[in-house]
A and B are shown apart, each in its own frame.
Chain A
Amino acid sequence: MTDLTRLTIAQARDEMNKGTFSSLDLTDAYLAAIDAANPAINAYVKITPDKAREMAKASDTRRAGGTAGALEGIPLGIKDLYATQGVHTQACSHVLDGFEPRYESTVTANLWADGAVMLGKLNMDEFAMGSSNETSYYGPVINPWRAEGSNANLVPGGSSGGSAAAVAALLCAGATATDTGGSIRQPAAFTGTVGIKPTYGRCSRWGIAAFASSLDQAGPIARDVRDAAILLKSMASVDDKDTTSVDLPVPDYEAALGGSVKGLKIGIPREYRIEGMPAEIDALWQQGIAWLKDAGAEIVDIELPHTKYALPAYYIVAPAEASSNLARYDGVRYGLRVPGKDIAEMYEKTRAEGFGEEVKRRIMIGTYVLSAGYYDAYYLRAQKVRTLIKRDFELAFDAGVDAILTPATPSSAFAIGDVNLASDPVKMYLNDIFTVTVNMAGLPGIAVPAGLDPQGLPLGLQLIGRPFEEETLFKTAHVIEQAAGRFEPKKWW
């Protein structure tokens, strides 16, 4: 039998429908691949083989009974931020030691309802705070990609580094991820995978540990655009338990693929041409423009004048919300508790030991910007900037632009333990420069692989769409994918 893990979701689905193999066969193939690769890649923090086989068998029974769901028998990896009933759910933080919820997040429940199988929980930056997956309590994830002729370990990006690495290394058919400032799109770009952050409100946030509530969105990372479309269709739903979720029908995203982009107006924002941008990033961008033009799209220059304020504003709003969202991890009810002589000391010791450096940094920034006397100067101002950023996009869309094309990241994957980045958090934050605006405006954004840099590392392009017009993004990203081809890492593990 060929290696089943090489099949995309769409291919595996079609083969299983034909009866070529069972979900249990497919699941076993992935479990074997994980066993072999995970010690090197560290994508999974918890592998659930028994549960996976049990779910696969149940899926095969359903298929035999003629009631196959849209993801029937497809083995997936789940980011550790999602609550999975009775299974390790710790946001890759020490503070949630031993936490196994009694509930299932709405998004994963949707996936299981469509027949999917869970392989385990995926590594991530602690509480989704990071751009390199180095802040995980469970250690960094290693990018399956290496520069040509180098054995140096690279980061997979973050915070959904485990999701991206697992997809790229064929350790799952697809993965759930979350994106607060680029946490789906940046790791997708660093690993040659496809990641979409849907419109804010498209997926329920219920059961996903909150980082920054007004920015957090669930989305998939997949091997190609079609798989991303299939996964998002199952993940998305309105939810009575999340009042910020939106009651709009979920379209058949897969059906949008192959549609023509002829006459589609693609905006190119001049403000994204940042100072010191590597030549290969600019070249990639120009290539993307050329492909879309060739496919009949109309390319227009647009202005998003408040772009330069997006990153600083993001690093006020996100930490502010995080400082409050993470207050519940206090050692009283669940997770880690470090005893103290009184309640205050218990809090201090638990939180000092339970949270890593980056999480503490953001809690402190967030606490500071919300403090009396600073609120107006920081938080309120950042919210105003946010309104202006949103308006920039609205004006562009009002002028007839259907989607906006930008680079996904300012560079390809960088080295683990990069001293330059470790010493200067702001440099690390610059990784999000092309992605945070999308979260600030609540828009959908997709990262699609578009080429390799001179070192042979993948680079991605980003498409930004109108609210709830993910179909346009899938259609357009598919055109880029067709033109660029697929990119796979050489197996070294």
Chain B
Amino acid sequence: MTLVDTRTPDPKRLVPGATGDWEIIIGLEVHAQVTSNSKLFSGASTTFGNQANSNVSLVDAAMPGMLPVINEECVAQAVRTGLGLKAQINNRSVFDRKNYFYPDLPQGYQISQFKDPIVGEGEIIISVGPDRQGNFEDIEIGIERLHLEQDAGKSMHDQHPSMSYVDLNRSGVALMEIVSKPDMRSADEAKAYVTKLRSILRYLGTCDGNMDEGSLRADVNVSVRKPGGEFGTRCEIKNVNSIRFIGQAVDYEARRQIAIIEDGGTIEQETRLFDPGKGETRSMRSKEDAHDYRYFPDPDLLPLEFDQAFVDALKANLPELPDDKKARFVAEMGLSVYDASILVSEKAIADYFEEVAAGRDGKMAANWIINDLLGALNKSGKGIEETPVSPAQLGGVIDLIKDGTISGKIAKDLFEIIWEEGGDPAEVVESRGMKQVTDTGAIEKAVDDVIGANPDQVAKVQAKPALAGWFVGQVMKATGGKANPKAVQNLVKAKLGIED
């Protein structure tokens, strides 16, 4: 692959060093486990967390005479992903063998795609920000390729004092290796890229994106250079398994490389590991120790070929992707780009929003979700999947505001009650007497009481009509917030003889 620099050095992304500014160059290889019931070349289950070596077929264990048979669903998933990345779909691709010895690699080779991958060049638009002015910046990150390959098994070194155990449940599970171009220039961009990629995969349903289960992991390639100069020597940080760690690894690695170069040293091309405990990378193997994988086309598998109709059918049934959804939220529901961006960041949030907004005021639904629901989730460390307030419940709260049953302020209390205790919003309002008072007689009495008890304020308000707000506040307080604020305001003004 020839490296093409697609970006102009931007001062705000440079990092300072002792000898001036530096630019960080980042490319990512993301391994995404394909969502499928069975493995790439065998019928064994892909269920996570089963007992060790229970999801293993004869093929996965590489018994003599076993042959791989391609799982068509995995092919469809790779094509869907390629379409989601607006990438070139290759109707003919080839599986190769990548040869190396490791106990958790039973065949002694991994079936992968080397020269002719199933998906070629594509792109992802990432959004970085907000900056101090609250603006987001959209950046296009190139995709170099996507190919299908087998995952390895797992070596377990903590089961026996002197031996290692092998669990082959993961052996042969389908992975998509998605390779970016070296288009990222900061840890934030790298994090935004993985976040966006994960979001696209989840929208497509081609990978669950669960990084803590290892379904999504990244090899991070980092190099540094003087702004606009030649690309530097890169180091590859293997298997980073959280978005936060990706950011930390990039920052640490960039600082390490800058320090070496500024001390007069040179960067050795090598493979490194990220230690999350220490927040640092350390050397795993140098270029000299690199394997010679002896790639060659797998003679057990014919080239993978499909016609355009296969691709077209998948394309026709592709779900709406985050960028399109965002545009629709802005155009059709009147949301701000900022709000729409937040709502589409996760498919589950967008789905939640659409359910709440159905037949309701979109902007109001967006505000409640962004300010109240996501705020509360964030505070309690929960994801949208674990929300105690369902879309129907939040919709119910909004309906009660809309029909004047409760005020916006009471609604916040109602939301909290639903969050803590659950229940139907209308019933909660009814049983707790939270209904807004619209009975003019009751409000009038409260207004009269406040005016009667505060002759000093009555005198002042004649000189400064804006002080009417104070009376409104007192009445609201006296009614426990249940009075209709609009009705209170009208009555106060009328009683005090203030003209609108």
Contacts and interface: CB of A to CB of B under 8 A. Distances in A.
A180 to B, nearest CB: 12
A241 B107 CA distance: 17
A271 B164 CA distance: 57
A324 B106 contact: no
Interface stretch (A138-146, A247-255, A366-374): A366-374
Contact of B101 (A102, A214, A327): A327
Contact of A321 (B63, B166, B299): B299
A347 B101 CA distance: 9
Interface in A193-233: 205-210, 212-214
A247 to B, nearest CB: 13
B66 A334 contact: no
A324 B62 contact: no
Contact of A91 (B62, B64, B164, B301): B64
Given A243-B302, A375-B296, A379-B296, A324 B108 contact: yes
Nearest to A81: B65
Contacts of A379: 296
A244 interface: yes
B292 A320 contact: no
A83 B58 CA distance: 12
Contact of A207 (B65, B103, B294, B301): B65
A328 B67 contact: no
B31 to A, nearest CB: 22
Contacts of B196: none
B109 A327 contact: yes
B99 interface: yes
B294 A367 contact: yes
A3 B292 CA distance: 59
Interface string B286-309: 000000101110011110000000
B19 to A, nearest CB: 37
A332 B103 contact: yes
Contacts of A209: 64-65
Nearest to B300: A213
Given A101-B63, A243-B70, A330 B302 contact: no
Interface string A79-113: 00011000001010000100101110100000000
B301 A212 contact: no
A350 to B, nearest CB: 11
Which secondary structure characterizes the binding site on chain A?
Answer: loop
Contacts of B296: 320-321, 324, 370, 375, 379
Contacts of B68: 243
15 contacts: A102-B58, A206-B65, A207-B66, A209-B65, A210-B64, A210-B300, A243-B68, A243-B300, A244-B67, A321-B299, A323-B99, A324-B109, A324-B294, A328-B62, A328-B108
Interface of A: 82-83, 89, 91, 96, 99, 101-103, 105, 205-210, 212-214, 240-244, 320-321, 323-324, 326-328, 330, 332-334, 343, 347, 367, 370-372, 375, 379
B458 interface: no
A370 B64 contact: no
Given A83-B65, A96-B64, A101-B63, A212 B106 contact: no
A290 B34 CA distance: 63
Contacts of B76: none
B330 interface: no
Contacts of B63: 83, 101, 103, 334
Contacts of B109: 324, 327
B302 A244 contact: yes
Given A89-B64, A101-B64, A371 B292 contact: yes
Given A332-B103, A333-B106, A206 B294 contact: no
B113 to A, nearest CB: 16
B14 interface: no
B69 interface: yes
B64 A99 contact: yes
B318 interface: no
Given A328-B106, A328-B107, A213 B69 contact: no
A241 B103 contact: no
Contacts of B164: 343
B30 to A, nearest CB: 26
Contacts of A103: 58, 63
A330 B65 CA distance: 15
Interface string B96-138: 0101010100111100000000000000000000000000000
A244 B300 contact: yes
Contacts of A334: 63
A332 B65 contact: no
Q: Which of B61, B65, B67 has the most CB of A within 10 A?
A: B65
A372 B70 CA distance: 28
B372 to A, nearest CB: 55
Nearest to B104: A332
A241 B67 contact: yes
Interface in B58-90: 58, 61-70
Contacts of B106: 328, 332-333
A381 to B, nearest CB: 13
A99 B64 CA distance: 10
Given A324-B108, A328-B106, A333 B61 contact: yes
Contact of A324 (B65, B99, B103): B99
A205 B294 contact: no
Contacts of B69: 240-241, 243
B62 A333 contact: yes
A76 B232 CA distance: 66
A212 B65 contact: no
B65 A205 contact: yes
Contacts of A324: 97, 99, 108-109, 294, 296
Given A101-B63, A207-B66, A375-B294, 15 more contacts: A102-B58, A103-B63, A243-B67, A323-B294, A324-B97, A324-B99, A324-B108, A324-B296, A326-B108, A327-B101, A328-B106, A330-B101, A370-B294, A370-B296, A379-B296
Contacts of B67: 205-206, 241-244
A327 B108 contact: yes
Contacts of A101: 63-65
Contacts of A96: 64
